[in-house]
């Protein structure tokens, strides 16, 4: 189990790099789509945005650039995952991923030609003339796609993930190989592209013989998830919140956002797979009347707990704190609440109560699952790029309008969710005397970054973090997601206990074998970069 946790943690960490590109692309697409909408321009008489104006052309440019990113996600995932999983020579892994991706799809294209499969013979019209029904024809056509102008199998992001993983493996395995003198030129990094070519030729050659069956199985799994209806959506939201404790949600949700597990839909004459991909394809299509709530069902449900619920929970913790401590914890809780409300980053507030009051986290997960289900039931379709805070709500809800998103339900149910969170948390904290921040006997007293820097200085903090991980020699790899340092260590017994991490201002620690996650909120990425620079990792 611990080895599985370690693998999933590493995969989730690798996913974060390509996913980090999407917020800016989504904002460009959202702004471009909203302010080139003829209805919005006409309703508010925004004539300076009308078709043909300079501003209109700039906005179309923004929308086009955003669409470009989403259209090339498989390649971006290939490169991002190769960099994320490579332990050494990450730039070589990136080059290997691009090379492997091109070879992979070129070889698939050639094998399909040998099999007599071309774009013409998989068109809906051709297949219907051959006796297929409309549904059968569309299903067959959906099995094929174009990647960088290459006709190939519809491997989508899965194909990118495979290319990235193989490229990282090749880089880790062959970067330091020394060949005999007469082949010395091809030693080390130069050997990686050679092996990449040799490996991806057979991989691409065998794919057409088994991938169509795999693709159909994935589509069936996505259909089965949809067939579960509202209970399935509840289970998804509930499970993702529980997995968030271990940082494993990053390894799961991309499969629903970018692959057929999240649905397959025709948008603008093209088959699009994955919930987030469908949303942004519809965002770029001006003919869409209302975005698909089925596509966004793995996204929209987080707005209620993140924008309204958790800030109310922070208020409950403040109200139940001892009077003498309220001034101390006020800044901490306000900062955590604002972070959740504005950006949808929840760890800073969740980990203030998770370890001292696990039942509160379970209730939080249940309420989040209910929110996901409610949003789908009410046909709310507000997509996201980064997280479910005010920023994404503005770009992909407010600016797109009620008619396309039904965002009004978030504003209607949000205050109700806030009341529920507040009174449930307040009741539970008082009833069971949970040692939440500011209460007598609380061991998880938090300090702001400023407080600690004044006490010890940031350089000492970085040194202490490394020493608490067992020293630099005990660290195999150190990385970070949005809120956590993700570390692989050689000997987990050398890692300091939780009390030491609390002294170092950590919100919590997750341990599973040699995989260690230290929650530092939004400072995690900064600490990771500074530690790498300080110790030349």
- Residue at 288 is within a domain: no
Q: Which of 250, 283, 316 is the last residue of a domain?
A: 283
Reported as a pLDDT band with limits 50, 70 and 90, residue 443 is very low
Are the beta carbons of 222 and 275 closer than 8 angstroms? no
Q: Would you say residue 480 lies in a domain?
A: yes
Residue range of the domain that includes 220: 2-24+75-228+239-283
Higher-pLDDT residue of 185, 170: 170
CA quadruple 234, 240, 244, 245: dihedral, nearest 10: 60
Q: What is the pLDDT of residues 35-82, one digit of tens each?
A: 887 867 877 788 899 989 999 999 999 989 988 988 899 999 999 999
Q: Across 424-519, where does the E strand assignment appear?
A: 475-480, 484-489, 508-512, 515-519
Q: Exactly one of 390, 481, 506, 519 is catalytic; which is it?
A: 481
**Given this model, what pLDDT does residue 38 score?**
80
pLDDT of residue 1: 53
Is pLDDT at 425 greater than 80 in this prediction?
yes
The pLDDT score that the predictor gives to residue 100 is: 97
For residue 19, how far is the Cα from the chain centroid?
5
The pLDDT of residue 41: 83
d(CA 131, CA 534): 67
Q: At residue 508, does pLDDT exceed 50?
A: yes
In whole angstroms, what is the distance from residue 452 CA to residue 49 CA?
49
Contact predicate 253/236, CB 8 Å: no
Neighbours of 9 (CB within 10 A): 27
- Domain assignment of residue 374, yes or no: no
- Extract long-range pairs of 522-528: CB within 8 Å, 24+ residues apart: 522/339, 522/345, 522/348, 522/482, 522/483, 523/449, 524/480, 524/481, 524/482, 524/483, 524/484, 524/485, 525/480, 525/481, 525/482, 527/461, 527/462, 527/465, 527/480, 527/485, 528/478, 528/479, 528/480, 528/485
Beta-carbon contacts of 255 under 8 Å, excluding residues fewer than 6 positions away, are 261, 262
Q: Is the pLDDT of residue 360 over 90?
A: yes
What average pLDDT does the structure give for the chain? 88
Q: What is the pLDDT of residues 199-230, one digit of tens each?
A: 999 999 999 999 999 988 888 888 888 889 99
In the residue annotation, 163 being an active-site residue is answered as no
Question: Residue 441: is its pLDDT beyond 70?
Answer: no
pLDDT value of position 198: 96
pLDDT of residue 9 exceeding 80: no
Q: Mean per-residue pLDDT for 500-506?
A: 88
Of 10-14, 239-243, 311-315, 460-464, highest mean pLDDT: 311-315
The residue-averaged pLDDT of 142-150 equals 92
Distance CA 339, CA 326 (A): 19
Q: Report pLDDT digits (tens) over 53-64.
A: 999 999 999 989
Cα separation, 256 vs 299, in Å, equals 10
For the chain, report the end-to-end CA distance as a whole number of angstroms: 28
The beta-strand segments (E) located in 329-407 are none
DSSP, collapsed to helix, strand or coil, labels residue 145 as: strand
Q: Is the pLDDT of residue 452 over 60?
A: no
| Most confident stretch, 4-18, 23-37, 493-507 | 493-507
Residue 305: inside a domain: no
Q: What pLDDT does residue 455 have?
A: 42
390: nearest Cα among 361, 404, 411: 411
96 vs 99: CA distance, rounded Å: 5
What are the two backbone dihedrals, phi and then psi, of residue 272, each rounded to the nearest 5 degrees?
-120, 135
In the block, which residue shows the tokens 């997509």?
A: 383
The answer as to whether 324 is a domain residue is no
In the prediction, which pLDDT does 448 show?
A: 38
Is residue 299 included in any domain, yes or no? no
Residues with Cβ within 8 Å of 113's Cβ and at least 6 positions away in sequence, in order, are none
Predicted confidence (pLDDT) at residue 456 exceeds the cutoff of 80: no
Q: Tokens for 480?
A: 């970070």
Phi, psi angle pair for 487, to nearest 5°: -125, 135
Judging by beta carbons within 10 Å of its beta carbon (0-12, 13-18, 19+), is residue 76 exposed, middle or buried?
buried
Give the count of domains, the chain: 2
In a domain, 182, yes or no: yes
Q: So what's the pLDDT on residue 5?
A: 63
Residue 454 confidence (pLDDT) above 60: no
What pLDDT score was predicted for residue 449?
A: 38
Q: Report d(CA 276, CA 432) in Å as an integer.
A: 41
- How confident is the model at residue 149, as a pLDDT? 93
Is 521 inside any structural domain?
yes
Two tokens at 11? Answer: 């995969």
Query: Does pLDDT of 422 surpass 60?
Result: yes
Per-residue pLDDT reduced to its tens digit, 280-327? 999 888 889 999 999 999 999 999 999 999 999 999 999 999 888 888
Residue 232: helix, strand or coil by DSSP? helix
DSSP secondary structure code for residue 179 in this structure: P
531: buried, middle or exposed (CB in 10 Å: 19+, 13-18, 0-12)?
buried
Q: Residue range 354-381: average pLDDT?
A: 93
Q: What share of the chain in percent tops pLDDT 70?
A: 94
In this predicted structure, what is the pLDDT of residue 369? 96
Structure tokens at 253: 């949700």
pLDDT of the residue at 33: 80
Tell me the CATH number at 460. 3.30.1360.60
What pLDDT does residue 8 have?
Answer: 66
pLDDT (average), residues 439-468: 63
Strands 508-512 and 144-147: unpaired
pTM to 2 decimal places? 0.73
- Res 521: pLDDT: 78
Query: Greater confidence, 85 or 246?
Result: 85
**DSSP alpha helices (H): ranges in 22-72?**
22-35, 38-43, 54-71
Q: Single out the residue in 214, 249, 283 at which a domain terminates.
A: 283
In sign, the C-alpha dihedral spanning 254, 256, 259, 265 is negative
């Amino acid at each position: 189990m611990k080895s599985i946790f370690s693998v999933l943690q590493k995969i989730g960490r690798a996913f974060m790099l390509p996913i980090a590109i999407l917020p800016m692309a989504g904002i460009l697409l959202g702004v471009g789509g909203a302010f080139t909408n003829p209805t919005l321009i006409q309703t508010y008489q925004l004539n300076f945005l009308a078709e043909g104006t300079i501003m209109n052309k700039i906005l179309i440019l923004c929308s086009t650039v955003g669409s470009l990113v989403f259209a090339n996600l498989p390649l971006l995932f290939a490169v991002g995952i190769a960099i994320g999983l490579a332990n050494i020579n990450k730039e070589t892994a990136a080059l290997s991923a691009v090379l492997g991706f091109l070879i992979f799809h070129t070889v698939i294209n050639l094998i399909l030609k040998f099999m007599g499969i071309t774009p013409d013979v998989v068109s809906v019209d051709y297949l219907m003339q051959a006796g297929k029904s409309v549904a059968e024809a569309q299903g067959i056509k959906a099995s094929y796609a174009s990647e960088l102008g290459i006709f190939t199998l519809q491997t989508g992001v899965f194909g990118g993930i495979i290319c990235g993983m193989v490229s990282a493996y090749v880089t880790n395995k062959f970067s330091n190989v020394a060949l005999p003198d007469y082949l010395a030129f091809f030693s080390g990094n130069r050997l990686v592209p050679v092996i990449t070519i040799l490996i991806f030729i057979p991989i691409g050659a065998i794919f057409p013989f088994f991938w169509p069956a795999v693709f159909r199985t994935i589509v069936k799994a996505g259909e089965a998830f949809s067939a579960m209806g509202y209970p399935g959506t509840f289970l998804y939201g509930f499970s993702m919140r529980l997995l968030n404790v271990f940082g494993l949600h990053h390894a799961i949700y991309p499969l629903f956002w970018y692959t057929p597990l999240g649905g397959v839909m025709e948008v603008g004459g093209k088959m699009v797979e994955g919930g987030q991909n469908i949303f942004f394809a519809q965002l770029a299509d001006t003919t869409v009347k209302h975005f698909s709530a089925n596509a966004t069902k793995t996204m929209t449900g987080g707005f209620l707990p993140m924008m309204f619920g958790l800030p109310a929970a922070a208020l409950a913790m403040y109200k139940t704190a001892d009077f003498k401590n309220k001034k101390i914890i006020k800044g901490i809780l306000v900062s955590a609440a604002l972070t959740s409300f504005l950006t949808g980053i929840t760890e800073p507030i969740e980990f203030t109560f998770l370890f001292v009051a696990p039942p509160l986290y379970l209730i939080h997960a249940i309420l989040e699952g209910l929110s996901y289900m409610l949003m789908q039931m009410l046909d709310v379709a507000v997509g996201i790029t980064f997280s479910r805070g005010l920023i994404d709500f503005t770009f992909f809800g407010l600016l797109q309008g009620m008619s396309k998103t039904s965002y009004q339900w978030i504003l209607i149910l949000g205050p109700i969710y806030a009341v529920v969170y507040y009174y449930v948390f307040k009741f539970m904290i008082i009833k069971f005397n949970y040692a939440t921040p500011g209460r007598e006997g609380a061991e998880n007293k938090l300090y702001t970054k400023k407080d600690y820097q004044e006490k010890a200085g940031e350089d000492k903090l970085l040194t202490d973090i490394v020493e608490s991980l067992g020293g630099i020699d005990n660290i195999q790899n150190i990385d970070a997601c949005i809120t956590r340092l993700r570390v692989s260590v050689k000997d987990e017994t050398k890692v300091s206990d939780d009390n030491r991490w609390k002294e170092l201002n950590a919100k919590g620690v997750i341990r599973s074998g040699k995989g260690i996650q230290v929650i530092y909120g939004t400072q995690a990425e900064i600490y990771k970069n500074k530690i790498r620079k300080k110790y030349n990792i």
